[in-house]
């Protein structure tokens, strides 16, 4: 009887300890799964929204080389977006947002197209956390959908003036 | 066999000699009773003798016949060396301060016995298995001499009774172990609940901020669309933003949470005219050419997003002023 009781209490203590461990692991998993939207997305939103809002016009391309060459522009979902900005002197300068395998791994990179048209390293790595980034057009509004590592989705939009 | 002097021999290693001498010390009717605890405890006779913080005998070399607490005394008796200062019975009155650890330190560590089992008895100036009254009697016997102690039947009877006392005490400690385990279980449960509460306190605000980010990002679309939409479409009869107080409601997906769960909200759209608009441009008659000489037509285009988090409804709005 005593042995049974001792074993039962021992098993109960073990179960409680395991439950607490499981709870902590689940908590950490939830915490980590939320980190993209909580920590990364606000910064991405700040950068991308400003870039989209201030652009004069845009083009969508399937690849960086096509974007540089200005070929095969499309309205379908694309990983590369060319944005044109008017400079204070009235000239137009292009920037490119591209989701690609860059110097810091797969991520969303921003290039400033130089005057000679030859791209070198990206100016910024906006984010390397999302698993996919797609640009598309809805009602004339350019939209950017980021898919996070835990399947979360967040969409930023910008209007051309 | 170890020779101490010209006339005395100390026998410590020869078990048959020890047994024989022990039998001679016992009376006949106690002989059978003597061997019960002897064989019962023969397997656990390794022990550590501690006196006032000093080891007086190696646990390995001291091979007692009964582990009942009188090992040192018996050894002194077996020597029959009453003049030797280490015989103990005549030289010291405080033999009861001898502590016997009936299990090894590892047994105490593993809670087979509790440290209090031996220490408490030490504090009472008792041997490990002696009761309070017995200790006093032993003390008296020690003062009256070796013969009174060895020849007395009572002394041996007490020795035999002690084994039962020891078992009873162990049973009590088992019960205490169960109480300890139950307390540990309760403590673990409380700790688990506290940790769960703390975790929820951390996660809940993050859940709120997740929805804030999703709703903010969605409202960038409403704002962009209100800025982008042609003025003619905005003022048309099927405008996405009808004239207030008419509103249009639309359920939209504002994003997805971790795990791919879609978050939805309801967008209410409406537009309100500026008070200074001319009557021809939807004004209410306040605006005239005197107050609005350029005939400006101004509309406030408003989108209101309503969504729920944990049963609470949150509302956000974006307003864009369109003019032509």
Would the pLDDT of B220 be above 50? Answer: yes
User: So what's the pLDDT on residue B151?
Assistant: 44
8 Å CB contact of B195 and A24: yes
Would the pLDDT of A108 be above 90? Answer: yes
Could you read off the pLDDT of B188-200 as tens digits, one per residue? 888 888 988 888 8
Q: What is the ipTM of this complex?
A: 0.84
Would the pLDDT of B75 be above 60? Answer: no
Band of residue B128 on the pLDDT scale cut at 50, 70, 90:
very low
Q: Which two tokens stand for residue B276?
A: 């200074």
Task: Please tell me the distance in Å from A119's CA to the nearest CA on chain B.
Answer: 30
Could you read off the pLDDT of B7-20 as tens digits, one per residue? 444 444 444 444 44
What are the DSSP calls for A74-142, one per residue?
BSS-BSEEEEEEE-TTS-EEEEEEEEEEETTEEEEEEEEPPTT----S-SEEEES--SEEEEEEETTEE
Domain count, chain A: 1
User: So what's the pLDDT on residue A117?
Assistant: 73
* Residues in a beta bridge with B309: B312
Top-confidence residue, B278 or B20: B278
B32 and chain A in contact, CB less than 8 A? no
Q: Which residue of B has its CA nearest to A28?
A: B199
A150 and chain B in contact, CB less than 8 A? yes
Q: Which is it for strands B312-323 and A105-112: parallel, antiparallel or unpaired?
A: unpaired
Q: Which residues of A touch B259 (CB under 8 A)?
A: 33, 150-152
Could you read off the pLDDT of B150-188 as tens digits, one per residue? 444 444 444 444 444 555 555 556 567 778 878 888 888
User: So what's the pLDDT on residue B40?
Assistant: 54
User: So what's the pLDDT on residue B292?
Assistant: 82
User: So what's the pLDDT on residue B159?
Assistant: 45
Per the CB < 8 A criterion, the answer to whether B299 and B321 are in contact is yes
What is the rounded average pLDDT of the residues A64-70?
Answer: 87
Which of B175, B185, B255 lies closest to A154 in CB terms? B255
User: So what's the pLDDT on residue B15?
Assistant: 47
User: So what's the pLDDT on residue A140?
Assistant: 84
User: So what's the pLDDT on residue B201?
Assistant: 85
8 Å CB contact of B256 and A139: no
A137 and chain B in contact, CB less than 8 A? no
User: So what's the pLDDT on residue B195?
Assistant: 86
Domain residues for the domain of A67 are 2-158
Would the pLDDT of A134 be above 90? Answer: yes
Q: Which two tokens stand for residue B229?
A: 């939409």
Q: Which two tokens stand for residue A49?
A: 């929204």
User: So what's the pLDDT on residue B89?
Assistant: 43
A49 and chain B in contact, CB less than 8 A? yes
Residues 246-275 of B with CB under 8 A from A: 255-260
């Amino acid at each position: 009887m005593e042995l049974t009781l001792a074993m039962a209490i021992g098993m109960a203590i073990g179960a409680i300890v395991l439950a607490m461990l499981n709870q902590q692991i689940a908590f950490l998993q939830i915490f980590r799964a939320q980190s993209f939207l909580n920590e990364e997305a606000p910064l991405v939103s700040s950068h991308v929204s400003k870039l989209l809002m201030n652009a004069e016009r845009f083009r969508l391309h399937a690849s960086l080389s096509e974007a540089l060459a200005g070929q095969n522009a499309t309205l379908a979902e694309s990983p590369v977006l060319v944005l044109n900005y008017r400079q204070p002197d009235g000239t137009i300068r292009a920037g490119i947002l591209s989701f690609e395998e860059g110097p810091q791994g797969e991520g969303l990179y921003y290039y400033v197209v130089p005057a000679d048209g030859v791209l070198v390293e990206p100016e910024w790595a906006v984010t390397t956390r999302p698993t996919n980034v797609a640009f598309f057009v809805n009602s004339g509004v350019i939209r950017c959908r980021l898919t996070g590592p835990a399947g979360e989705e967040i969409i930023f939009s910008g209007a051309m003036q | 066999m170890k020779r101490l002097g010209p006339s005395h021999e100390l026998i410590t290693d020869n078990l048959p000699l020890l047994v024989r001498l022990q039998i001679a010390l016992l009376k006949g009717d106690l002989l059978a009773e003597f061997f019960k605890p002897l064989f019962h405890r023969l397997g656990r006779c390794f022990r550590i003798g501690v006196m006032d913080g000093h080891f007086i005998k190696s646990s390995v070399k001291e091979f007692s016949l009964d582990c009942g607490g009188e090992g040192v005394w018996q050894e002194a008796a077996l020597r029959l060396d009453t003049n030797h200062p280490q015989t103990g019975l005549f030289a010291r009155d405080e033999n009861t301060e001898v502590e016997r650890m009936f299990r090894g330190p590892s047994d105490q560590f593993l809670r087979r016995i509790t440290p209090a089992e031996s220490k408490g008895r030490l504090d009472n100036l008792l041997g490990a298995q002696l009761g309070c009254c017995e200790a006093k009697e032993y003390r008296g016997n020690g003062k009256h001499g070796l013969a009174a102690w060895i020849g007395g039947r009572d002394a041996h009877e007490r020795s035999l009774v002690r084994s039962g006392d020891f078992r009873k005490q162990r049973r009590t400690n088992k019960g205490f172990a169960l109480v300890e385990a139950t307390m540990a279980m309760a403590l673990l449960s409380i700790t688990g609940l506290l940790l769960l509460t703390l975790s929820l306190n951390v996660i809940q605000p993050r859940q709120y901020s997740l929805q804030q980010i999703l709703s903010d990002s969605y409202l960038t679309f409403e704002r962009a669309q209100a800025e982008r939409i042609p003025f003619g479409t905005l003022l048309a009869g099927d405008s996405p933003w009808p004239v207030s107080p008419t509103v249009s409601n639309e359920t939209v997906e504002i994003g997805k949470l971790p795990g791919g769960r879609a978050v939805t909200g309801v967008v209410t759209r409406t537009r309100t005219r500026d008070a200074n608009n001319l009557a021809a441009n939807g004004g209410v008659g306040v605006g005239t050419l005197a107050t609005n000489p350029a005939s400006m037509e101004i509309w406030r285009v408003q989108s209101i997003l309503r969504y729920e988090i944990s049963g609470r409804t949150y509302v956000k709005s974006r307003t864009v002023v369109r003019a032509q």
